Amino acid sequence: MTVNPASANTVAMAVLNAIQNAVIMVDANGLIAFANWEAEAFFGASASHLARYKVSTFIPFGSPLLALIDQVRERRAPVNEYRVDLSSPRLGQDKLVDLYVAPVVSDPGAVVVVFQERSMADKIDRQLTHRAAARSVTGLASMLAHEIKNPLSGIRGAAQLLESSASDEDRSLTRLICDETDRIVSLVDRMEVFSDERPVDRVALNIHSVLDHVKAIAKAGFARNIKITESYDPSLPSVFANRDQLVQVFLNLVKNAAEAVSDRPDGEIQLTTAFRPGIKLSVAGSREKISLPLEFCVHDNGPGVPADLVPHLFDPFITTKTNGSGLGLALVAKIIGGHGGIVECDSQANRTTFRVLMPVSKSAAFDDITPVKTSGSL
Ligand SMILES: Nc1ncnc2c1ncn2[C@@H]1O[C@H](COP(=O)(O)OP(=O)(O)OP(=O)(O)O)[C@@H](O)[C@H]1O
Ligand SMILES: [Mg+2]
């Protein structure tokens, strides 16, 4: 019996997608040439998105996986490595995996990587070791916030008192003290959000009202002289989310876009929304494929994200700006992840897009706006 190559291909795809381990093929250039469904879930990105980037974009800096891939290419023989920690803000906490890396005989330089997540027992074991440390870090963060913010308000108050009797020359110094203390307070406030694990209220929201609000804030302040256009799909169903957090997400994205185009006289930001029912993703921790059909994008025509930044774009403290804290995109990733969505970036000169994909609100059909308490993180 002869097997039709097309149907053999379909069967091979079905088999790979049925495997409950993430499987990727990395080509000779380091690009992710193939990703099965589980790999989409593992990396929190669609296969087509993964295909555009090098594997180093998606794994923590300095991870042994890259060395392993090189080793397999060189030796042309499979290599396994156990208990590799791939935890990162992008991949999530507790990503402890066994890696199986093998060369693809028919495609020189290409390797296949299979990720086997360690058993719960392993994770629990590791968590127990780290729990006390984690607790003290969270405690330290809130203690620091308290210990920094209180004295700062004293310093600020004292500077304001001095200001009233200061000469014009000295007044610029007292203003400096006030501005800088304000900056530290707002930095500490932003840090606090990361350690805040309280449940948030979510409702079925019309994203366009959120985007219009963000646009109004931007136009009144940091994007006063920048053109902001929108192209909305008016029939878009509701998204189940916390309004304040979504405002924060799009404010951060629009602010970055505004900063990216600030040098250009023809700088423009575009907000778009669309319904893309085809976008499905398996989600870590669940065997189901969930649909992420709500697409909200912020585009700008700035110079693009510097290439060396792309792999770490969503990590905290990554910034190229003199006054940047590098917390904007880390916060975006945390909030969207907490809502069951994903955020991706496509960037080239003159066209940068930050794309947020989210599930549809379960109550979208009824569009009730009764607050519902959920226990999502953040
Ligand atoms: N639209 C964009 N175009 C080009 N580069 C961008 C864009 N958005 C983000 N970046 C790059 O990513 C970096 C990280 O962004 P992020 O918002 O996390 O921090 P930040 O803007 O530097 O500081 P903060 O948001 O805390 O003020 C930026 O410094 C910038 O280099
Ligand atoms: Mg920013």
Ligand nearest to the CA of 316: 1
Beta strands in 225-338 (DSSP E): 227-231, 239-241, 268-275, 280-282, 289-291, 294-300
| 32-35, strands of its sheet edge to edge | 32-35, 22-26, 111-117, 96-103, 79-85
Ligand nearest to the CA of 313: 1
> Which residue's alpha carbon is nearest to atom 17 within ligand 1?
328
110 and 238: one domain? no
Token duo for residue 204: 């079925």
pLDDT on residue 4: 67
CA of 319 from ligand 2 middle (Å) equals 8
In whole angstroms, what is the distance from residue 94 CA to residue 86 CA?
8
Find out whether the beta carbon of 248 lies less than 6 Å from any atom of ligand 1.
no
Find out whether the beta carbon of 300 lies less than 6 Å from any atom of ligand 1.
yes
* pLDDT tens digits, one per residue of 121-175: 454 444 334 334 444 445 556 666 677 877 888 898 899 999 888 898 889 899 9
258 and 370: one domain? yes
* Overall domain count for the chain: 3
322 and 366: one domain? yes
* pLDDT tens digits, one per residue of 104-127: 989 999 999 999 887 654 544 443
CATH code of the domain in which 16 resides: 3.30.450.20
| Residue range of the domain that includes 48 | 5-118
In whole angstroms, what is the distance from residue 94 CA to residue 97 CA?
9
272 and 190: one domain? no
At position 334, the amino acid (one-letter code) is K
Q: What is the mean pLDDT of residues 28-32?
A: 93
Q: Which atom of ligand 1 is nearest to the CA of 325?
A: 26
- Strands 227-231, 268-275: pairing is parallel
- 375 vs 133 pLDDT, higher one: 133
pTM over 0.75: no
CATH code of the domain in which 293 resides: 3.30.565.10
Q: What is the mean pLDDT of residues 172-188?
A: 86
185 and 208: one domain? no
What percent of the chain shows pLDDT beyond 70?
82
- Strands 372-373, 201-205: pairing is antiparallel
At residue 307's C-alpha, the angle toward residues 312 and 46, to 5°, is: 65
Ligand nearest to the CA of 321: 1
Find out whether the beta carbon of 262 lies less than 6 Å from any atom of ligand 1.
no
pLDDT on residue 334: 81
316 and 350: one domain? yes
CB-CB contact of 294 with 359 (8 Å): yes
Instruction: Tell which of 69, 90, 118 closes a domain.
Output: 118
Average pLDDT of the chain, as a whole number: 82
41 and 182: one domain? no
241 and 352: one domain? yes
Measuring CA to CA, which residue among 363, 365, 329 is closest to residue 202? 363
Instruction: Tell which of 84, 118, 152 closes a domain.
Output: 118
40 and 179: one domain? no
> Which residue's alpha carbon is nearest to atom 11 within ligand 1?
305
